[in-house]
A and B are shown apart, each in its own frame.
Chain A
Amino acid sequence: MGSILIVTETSDGKIREASHELASVAQRLAGPLGCTVQSLVMGSGAAPLAESFAKKGGGQVHLAEGEAFAHYNVDAVNAAVRAAVAVSQAELILFSNTPSGWDVAPRVAAGLDAGFVSDCFKLDVEGGKVVFHRRVFNGKLDATLRASSPVVVATVQPGASAAFAGTTEGSVTPLPVPLTGIRARFVEVKAAATRGVDLSKAEIIVSGGRGVGAPDKFPEVIEPLAQALGGAMGASRPVVDAGWLPHAYQVGSSGQTVQPKLYIACGISGAIQHLVGMKTSNYIIAINKDPDAPIFEVADLGVVADLFEIVPALTKAVRAAKGG
């Protein structure tokens, strides 16, 4: 019987939440696919984590233990996954679409001649085969994919599934991993630079995206609204990439995650990398010319219009209301 192999990640001495989400996906698919659930846990001093994961939907857990797995290393993880695949008859190999997952999973797929589908927000079984659901064109369209290879590798979007809840029977087996051919070398982790702009405390954030069009429009159009409301200014990634604003203003998966009472997104299309940074805001207003912009899926209130018409007028109205 083939298996679904979950490749877990650890962080701060714990199995990551995203790995528990993989467990719930695997447990749900196992029956319809006629597969067992097996897992790979890697780390230094990771035996307790493996034991615990076995009881939380991990099934038969293969433990790759040692200093070589103390920090993420693409070659070490690749070797461990290949070793786990060999002993588990894996037909479906699941990674989380995290910086480590997207780094190593396609490499594993190529080495196995396996089909590969990334950043799936949903996996279903139809006719005994997996159907993968993901977005394309930076979140604008939904795509449904199938893979016909005997082994398939997929990465799953963190946060798209619930973490596995409940207790299961499982086991832990040590996994010998040949570690010749490690070429990449972990050097260090540099924490994110201390910010000049702390958006985590702002009650109101007015953010601008690529739609703002030019750097001078930020102090001219976006900042005045933020100031009038007594809030802070933020930006999406393309704005920072273009050098219009420093990284300190970036909201998103590789910037700050914010939860203000009010988030106003101006000219931001709503790629997933931005949404993960602000979608838990208490109330979201989106202003964008494009009615199909993905930002409208998380917004509470939307305005399909030119932000250069709306924002200055709103700023004026806010000032008037405040008696300024």
Chain B
Amino acid sequence: MKIMVCLKQVPHQDARLDIDPGGTWIREGSIKFEINSYDTYALEEALQAKDGGGADVFAVSIGPDRCTQTLRTALGMGADRAIHVKDPEAEGSDALGIARILAAIAKQESPDLIFMGLMSDDANFAAVPPMLAELAGVPHTTAAVKIQRQERSLLVDREIEGGAHEVVELPLPCLVAVQTGINQVRYASLKGIMAAKKKPLEVKTVADLGLTGRVGAGAATVRIEKIAPPPKGDRAQILQGSTDQVVTGLLGKIKELGLL
């Protein structure tokens, strides 16, 4: 059983979001990065399958030098090997470009399962997983909250409205995009981190994948024209002052609502 896990490195959840001079993304210069939270759950799901016996897990990430850290963490947590697609030609790819890169790797590797997070914490597009499934020619589902492995298929509970679950069966090979909270993500042990240094971490370029001209900014058809803080408009009345003043104000409002 070969499992491919796709990991995106994103700005830390509490990072300061300053708009870059071009106005089309945030300034990345001085912020911390982390693995996309949704993808950590996907990695954990793969590692649990590995714990159960007989699975080989490889992690893939696309991005500049700093993504090496993401892959080292994945290896430290227990992934067997990693592939880093590191190439300026891949920069500025839209979701379809990213899906093309991952599909090219899937074509080379023929995994039985592809796990990834439902969406990224930064762009929140939730676009790549179903796109990858289509390009890789495999069935898929999204927002998985429970995955059960059967002989040659998966039984997946996916989250639908109001917390209800829809159960779908997918034959292997298939792709599952997981929802947060599907499991409890493990920490890399010290032993794991040391062992990770010896695990294979392969670097590939866009040309290696036969995708010259098909990815990156030049090939992207979807572009962010502008990002900006939302208009202040109709926002909350903000209570100012010392803790005592604020508490008095809140108490007054609760009384006014007739709820005290």
**Interface of A toward B, CB cutoff 8 Å:** 72, 74-75, 78, 98-100, 102-107, 109-111, 113-119, 131, 135-138, 140-149, 183-193, 203-204, 229, 237-238, 240-243, 247, 250, 253-257, 261-262, 282-286, 291-292, 294, 296-297, 299-305, 309-310, 313-314, 317-318, 321-322
Interface SS of A by simple majority: mixed
Which residues of B have CB within 8 Å of A185? Answer: 168-170
Question: Closest residue of chain B to A230, judged by CB?
Answer: B259
Task: Name which of B228, B239, B247, B257 has the most chain A CB atoms within 10 A of its CB.
Answer: B247
In the complex, A286→B121 CA distance in Å?
22
Which residues of B have CB within 8 Å of A313? Answer: 243-244, 247
In the complex, A237→B167 CA distance in Å?
21
A-B contact pairs, 17 of them (CB 8 A): A74-B168, A111-B134, A136-B124, A137-B121, A138-B121, A140-B230, A145-B223, A238-B180, A282-B257, A291-B238, A294-B230, A296-B238, A297-B235, A301-B239, A302-B237, A314-B251, A318-B260
Question: Closest residue of chain A to B120, judged by CB?
Answer: A136
**Size category of the binding interface on chain B:** 35 or more
Mark interface residues in B157-195 (1 if CB within 8 Å of A CB, else 0): 111111111111111001000011100100000000000
Out of B121, B124, B133, B221, name the residue touching A119 (CB < 8 Å). Answer: B124
Q: Is the CB of A189 within 8 A of B166?
A: yes
Q: Is the CB of B125 within 8 A of A118?
A: yes
Closest 4 CB pairs of A and B: A241-B181, A302-B236, A192-B163, A110-B131
In the complex, A110→B238 CA distance in Å?
45
Q: Is the CB of B221 within 8 A of A147?
A: yes
Q: Is the CB of A190 within 8 A of B226?
A: no
Which residues of B have CB within 8 Å of A105? Answer: 130
Chain B proximity of A125: nearest CB distance (Å): 14
Mark interface residues in B114-148 (1 if CB within 8 Å of A CB, else 0): 00000001111111111111110001111100000
Provided the pairs A104-B130, A107-B134, A301-B237 are in contact, do residues A99 and B180 lie with their beta carbons within 8 angstroms? no
Chain A proximity of B173: nearest CB distance (Å): 10
Q: Is the CB of B131 within 8 A of A116?
A: yes
Provided the pairs A103-B130, A141-B227, A314-B250 are in contact, do residues A190 and B124 lie with their beta carbons within 8 angstroms? no
